[in-house]
Amino acid sequence: MVRVMDQVKMNVYTFDDYGPEFVSILTLCYMSNFRFTGAEAAQELGISEQNLYKKKKYAVILFALEFEEYKREITACCNPVRYTGEQMTLADFMH
């Protein structure tokens, strides 16, 4: 899971203007060992608390969309076998 989150963070980080800031916000708020309060996180980032909450909302949405895209890419390249209720055989996994 850590590898997946690192990949998603890297993908979000490459967004032009707001990518690095969104990664910093979500890392401080959700992905660090120390639990920052809203005021502490806002002070650390140098923005107002109200602005932090607004940007955090957008950052969560962007991370979710990027995670869905990452999931689609992984499942497309792995060609998963769908369960149909029938007995699976080795031939089901051969390409």
- pLDDT above 70 covers a percentage of the chain that reads 80
Average pLDDT over residues 22-34: 89
Answer CATH for 2-85 from 3.30.310, 1.10.3470, 1.10.10, 1.10.1060: 1.10.10
Q: Give yes or no for residue 89 having a pLDDT over 60.
A: no
CB 59 within 8 A of CB 67: no
Band (pLDDT 50/70/90 cuts) for residue 81 is low
How does pLDDT run across 29-65, given as a tens digit for each residue? 888 888 888 899 999 999 999 999 999 999 999 898 8
Residue 86 has pLDDT above 70, yes or no: no
Task: Tell me the CB-side half-sphere exposure of residue 59, using CA atoms within 13 A.
Answer: 22
Closest CA to 44 of 62, 32, 58: 32
